[in-house]
Amino acid sequence: MQTELSQQLGVEHAVFGFTPFPAVAAAISRAGGFGVLGAVRYTAPDELKRDLDWLEAHAEGRPYGLDVVMPAKKVEGVSEADVEAMIPEGHRQFVRETLARHGVPELPGGETSGWRITGWMEQVARTQLDVAFDYPIGLLANALGSPPADVVTRAHDRGVLVAALAGSARHAHKHKDAGIDIVVAQGYEAGGHTGEIATMVLTPEIVDAVAPLPVLAAGGIGSGQQMAAALALGAQGVWLGSVWLTTTEADLHSPALTRKLLAAGSGDTVRSRALTGKPARQLRTEWTDAWEDPDGPGTLPMPLQGLLVAEAVSRIQKYEVEPLLGTPVGQIVGRMTGERSVQAVFDDLTRGFEQAVDRINRIAGRSGK
């Protein structure tokens, strides 16, 4: 499953795997793909350094990258406390009432939220980059569009390619103008923040819009047949995220959440603003339903919503309150029916890819089989 881009980056398969877990990123790289560690959850530089040390030691010399959440526009003089102060009391009360209705306990005394969307703040992302550029990362990806121009230059000066996610051809044009090297066409089916255009439609639109830049297809892809389809649409690889959540190397810290993922069908996700304030595909739960209730206060814009629900999400996860328990995940969750290793995922991808290519070759009269 090689393309010009995979050969350029020195990987066997044109599979780029986004994950918040260092063990999964290392396993993806060892299996011949390109592991990309998500940095948004790291608020302390020493924590990111610790995990990059581990990743460097366990990737066996294979290439890997880092994904940050960095706004293209800089906001001066705004602290997290300043943003917290903008959250209306009515929204805080709604969170308290929703948790109380489901009997969610408080965090133990002295324990703080382990989940906060702070990586969106430029000063946090820049500290992550200060750490990451001390490592031989091969790719820097940004989930909030094109990173600031000086960051692109800084990466290029170190020989690091820069990728950015796009949900429309208009976004992709902006990435090309900003000097981005790789555009990730993220379709409606994907987990996390998505636009409204499906992968089948979006991928060829972006391929045409940014040619000759390489494009990775993302959203609703979890099999070798789907990867073959993405390459047929003009992509030079695929960007996979959700499929790694139920691998044996993943560390969700929640057997209940793993059970919910394995039991979910492709129709059991919803695009909701409940997590961050921007539309993000996730498991549909009573928590996401609560935020859609017309009698409720509605969600706040990013980043207010993420800060508002940070402690609530930590409490729900800590105590595994199943009706409220969810996670960002794409519609491919319907194919995630059993726990398996990252290597097993790659075995299925390569087998399915070969079958799809053989099928097309037979249709085209190019195979003797």
**How does pLDDT run across 146-191, given as a tens digit for each residue?**
888 999 999 999 999 999 999 999 999 999 999 999 999 999 999 9
What pLDDT digit, counting tens, does each position of 247-269 carry?
Answer: 999 988 899 999 999 999 999 99
DSSP letter string, 116-152: ---TTSHHHHHHHHHHHTTS--SEEEETTSSPPHHHH
What pLDDT digit, counting tens, does each position of 264-304 carry?
Answer: 999 999 999 999 899 999 999 999 999 999 999 999 998 88
Mean pLDDT, residues 22-28 taken together: 98
| pTM score of the predicted model | 0.93
Asked whether residue 369 carries a pLDDT value surpassing 80, the answer given is no
Q: What is the CA radius of gyration of the chain?
A: 20
Question: What pLDDT sits at residue 128?
Answer: 92
Q: What is the pLDDT of the chain when averaged over all its residues?
A: 93
Question: What pLDDT sits at residue 120?
Answer: 57
What pLDDT digit, counting tens, does each position of 35-79 carry?
Answer: 999 998 888 899 999 999 999 999 999 999 999 987 666 555 566
Reduce the DSSP state of residue 182 to 3 states and report it.
Answer: strand
Mean pLDDT, residues 331-357 taken together: 97
Dihedral, CA of residue 338, residue 344, residue 348 and residue 354, to nearest 10: 180
Question: What pLDDT sits at residue 40?
Answer: 85
Question: What pLDDT sits at residue 367?
Answer: 63
Of 117, 116, 87, give the one whose Cα is nearest residue 314: 116
What pLDDT digit, counting tens, does each position of 87-146 carry?
Answer: 999 999 999 999 999 999 999 987 766 555 554 567 778 899 999 999 999 999 998 788
Reduce the DSSP state of residue 17 to 3 states and report it.
Answer: strand
Strands of 269-272's sheet, edge to edge? 192-193, 280-283, 269-272
Question: What pLDDT sits at residue 78?
Answer: 65
Query: Taking a C-beta distance cutoff of 8 angstroms, is the pair 49, 131 a contact?
Result: yes
What pLDDT digit, counting tens, does each position of 137-147 carry?
Answer: 999 999 878 88
Q: Calculate what percentage of the chain has a pLDDT beyond 90.
A: 82
Question: What pLDDT sits at residue 368?
Answer: 53
Q: Where are the alpha helices (DSSP H) in 240-302?
A: 255-263, 286-292
Question: What pLDDT sits at residue 90?
Answer: 97
Angular region, 340: left φ>0, alpha ψ -120 to 50, beta rest: beta
Torsion sign, CA atoms 303, 308, 314, 320? negative
